Amino acid sequence: MIIDFHTHYYPAKVVGKALAAVEGRIGHYTDGSRAGLLASMREAKIDYSLALPIATRPANSRGINTWAAAERSENIGLTGSIHPGDPHLPDTLKYIAEQGLPGIKLHPEYQQFDFADERLYPVWERCVELDLFVITHAGCDVMFKPPWHSDPARLAAFHRRFPELKLILAHLGSMEMWDAVETELAGLPVYFDLALLTPDRLPPQRLLAIIRKHGAERILFGTDSPWSPQKAHVDYIRSLPLSEAERELIFHRNAAKLLHL
């Protein structure tokens, strides 16, 4: 069984805009639609994908969470999302939990916030109370420029401040900040996903070393489809010399536990 913990697709009315926004910077391997994701899953033999919508403005928080709740099906799950500028954050979180969405997706670069911002502390406390996990973009992102809001030291400090929060860091802890991932984050009780880690971005030996230092019981298979081809990504992770037990944890066991599947 394979669960892809990090995918995206878009409602018909915004899909064109979403693809146009990244034109020339990153490629796309589906047409960005739900049908496109399902076709890609069939090709890659992926059983379940978690899609991660993102609230791009405070005003669209409610709409995006309503959409996410309605889109769920047997083989597609979705997280909710919040925008740090939403004046009704407690209500939005309550709504997400009431809808049965498993967690929230955040992007500190896109949404321009810092995990050290004390004004947001009640949000993270509420996520613990409501048993919502937080999955966040981590590290460099070709669409944005430094200074980064999501580097290993900041993310480690955030985890230490909220040790009970289930925290999932995309892109193996912090995209392209591998030395600091090893020293600051690897081994902490947070999850890393494997989204967007092609061999040219992170060669197999280094990837394997970080997985082993962190522990396979806190690694989640993920692709970042449509920005990465699911099938090639499955093949890459499968090519690593992992044990069968490690492979099962990474491809589905850890994800199934977080998603209560």
Query: Least CB distance from residue 48 to Zn ion, whole Å?
Result: 17
Query: Least CB distance from residue 6 to Zn ion, whole Å?
Result: 6
Mapped onto helix, strand or coil, the DSSP state of residue 48 is: strand
Q: Is the Cβ of residue 234 or residue 242 nearer to Zn ion in the bound state?
A: 234
Neighbours of 235 (CB within 10 A): 11
From the centroid of its chain, how far is CA 83? 16
Residue among 193, 187, 181 at smallest CA distance from 154: 181
195 close to 8: Cβ distance less than 8 angstroms:
no
The footprint of Zn ion on residues 210-249 (CB under 5 A) is 224
Determine if 151 is a binding residue for Zn ion (CB under 5 A): no
Residue among 141, 149, 221, 139 at smallest CA distance from 185: 139
Phi, psi of 155 (to 5 degrees): -70, -35
Q: Is the Cβ of residue 172 or residue 242 nearer to Zn ion in the bound state?
A: 172
Query: Least CB distance from residue 247 to Zn ion, whole Å?
Result: 23
Query: Count residues contacting Zn ion (CB under 5 A)?
Result: 1
Determine if 4 is a binding residue for Zn ion (CB under 5 A): no
The token pair at 222 is 């993920």
Q: Is the Cβ of residue 86 or residue 224 nearer to Zn ion in the bound state?
A: 224
Query: Least CB distance from residue 94 to Zn ion, whole Å?
Result: 26
Query: Least CB distance from residue 196 to Zn ion, whole Å?
Result: 7
Determine if 109 is a binding residue for Zn ion (CB under 5 A): no
Looking at the DSSP bridge assignments, the partners of residue 136 are 106, 169
Q: Is the Cβ of residue 168 or residue 242 nearer to Zn ion in the bound state?
A: 168
Binding stretches for Zn ion (CB under 5 A) = 224
